[in-house]
Structure 1
Amino acid sequence: MELVRSGKGSYASLGELYDKKLWHELTLKMETVVRTEDDAVALLALADDFLPKFEAKINQLAYAQILSAILSSCVEKKALAAETAIERLDQTVDQKKGRLGREASLFLSMEAACLRLDIGQPVKDQLDAAKPIIDSLTNSNTAVFYKYYSACAEYYKKFGPPEEFYRAALSYLSYASEDQIKDPVTLATDMSLAALAGDLYNFGEILTTPILAALERTDLEWLGDLLKACGRGDVDHFRTILMDHDLPPVLVARLDFVKEKIALLALMNLLFETPSRSRALDFDAISRRTRLDIDKVEWLVMRAMALNLVRGQIDEVKQSVHFSWVAPRVLDDHQIAHLVTQLDTLNDKAKTAFDILSDQTVDLI
């Protein structure tokens, strides 16, 4: 309180708002001060001497965000040990859980989880305990979901598997504002590598988000192009990019798997582009599209069926496959344009059929 009373500018404003009991305005001012203050000592003074005087009078999720921001900023500035910040967050949740409510308690717990991850402490049990709470929340502030999925993404980035990191990062992106993403290039790189190296065959979501734009005009722009080529099942472009660039270790380690994935996605895209009435494809057509030797086509189709990416029947005598289903996926702009063309063709055929029917059955129509 001494800092506020003796301070100038922003700190003087805090004291005035407190004296007038303008709690909402005080909350907004505190958020601004915490976001812009570089002096860790001053921030700790706010958390220790000023915030406790009105914390019960303001929105509890806002209080949790202010306290978390102060403690994480002080840890980042080396003015506070991470262990000390974690202990304070845990104590706040334990001692004030009844007042805080589920959302604010969860936010503080996930802030503690993020700090634990930074210093190598276990957090899996903490994340597992938070999952049912997150699933039960409705009409909640997005900040709670942002903090939870931020912690999950950091955990799976460190410990895997890559597909879980990818899913958590997608959820994180859906709740994070642009200014909350501190390093979009790193996030775009990590998500691209996870999509390529993980057991994922539907990663159109990342292709429709703005995050890949962070790679443009950087040394890693080719990685975004590789992901787009993989999503389209463009084997030739995919191979060209692989040959022209030094691959990150994670792709080198799973190169055979990634090559199998591009072949599977090429097959899926071939089916997507083929009209449903013509989905009896011979091995030769599949071989040409996937760039595999014809003696490997049957294995590829069986692999796709085992992964539930396609369904159908293989005719070994006729060297063909009759496909009845292909797994739905999020479409990129190129695939949507193809779908529009197919719908236009269907519309034209329906109109032609209607005109013929009209001419030949005048009395009925």
Structure 2
Amino acid sequence: MRTSRWPFVPRMVGFVGISTAMIMILVAAGSPTPLLPIYEHEWGFPSWMLTLAFGVYAIALLVAILVIGSLSDHVGRRPLMIGALALELIAMGMFVEAHSIGGLIAARIVQGIATGAASSTLSASVVELAPERHKKTGALMAGLAPLAGLGIGSLFAGIIAQTVANAAPVIWTVLIVVMALATVFAIFTPETSTRKKGALRSLIPSVSLPKQVRRLFFSTLPGTIGAFMTMALFLGLLPALLAGLFAVTSPIVGALAAFVMFGVGTLVSAATLGAKPHRLRILGAASMTVGAILFIAAIGAHALPLVWTAAVFGGAGLGANFSGTTRGLVPEVKPHERAALFSTIYLVAYLSMGVSAIIAGAFVAAIGATTMALLFGAVLGIFALIGIITTAGHLRASRA
């Protein structure tokens, strides 16, 4: 906990700073999206490796969540924050030095581990550093940060890639400076959690979910899967689809589509602070269903404008659903259970994102990009529809 001998920043300053750090972790995660087609052109690797480079990040993140997702509940938030941000700094350096697809994949793996270590810890810290009367705002920030960060990261990298000849070193050097500052800031951020026994045991991969939220959590699963498949679509698959199906090679196009999707999601999350969580999840799942249908229509009709429309509806659904999920679950658990809760949420989320992207990439060679895209949109829409049903069913059961 806080000591008088170390010059910690005030808790409100810590809340703002760690919220910013959490966003920047996701900015870095979104930055490779417009760069992947450039790497493919320069290094000459097959297109399915684009989705592999995207998917390994999510799988590495998942492994980190499984192993150290609950560690901060035992050793405190601050040591994990410092370590995760320092590891992210190392990953940015690896991106600068990457000159082959192997180096890029290695950097993505390290980045995934760093992001996984940061996800539950920073999310819990943001909630705990928030002023007592604004705990819901802290939970909202935990839900907004992934959306805002990934969207900003994609747009940031896309603009630089469009305007600078050798864009990749510029992007990663900027992020090196940002991560260095974030690491230093974390050193001066006050601790928000008391230590407890069981740190070594917590490293054994497991999924821990507080008993009082299990039924609610399972009702949110289909919507969460659909939401993060939407993320996989616009971050991992769309760059390859734009080049292969629409003959679009400009990096800013895919970056803008991702930014629109995440930007709309962020706005919806922020604008619906007063809405009931279950209504947000239902509306979010419905919007994702519409987005999936529009995406299928875009591929079938070869109509690029429909991709943008799908991004709007998909983003709105993603923002509403994920915000409704976090805002519904976080108030129901005790402070020392928050990191474990966020770990479980992110476990489902990033498993959905990484596995769906890798499977889709593997199927391109066998069935073609068009068929793969149509099937991906159909599966996404099915999960979103199931999300409506499970949320409505849980609501009826809780009122009975």
TM-score category, normalised to shorter length: under 0.3
Q: Which has the higher contact order (CA 8 A, sep 6+)?
A: 2
Structure showing greater radius of gyration is: 1
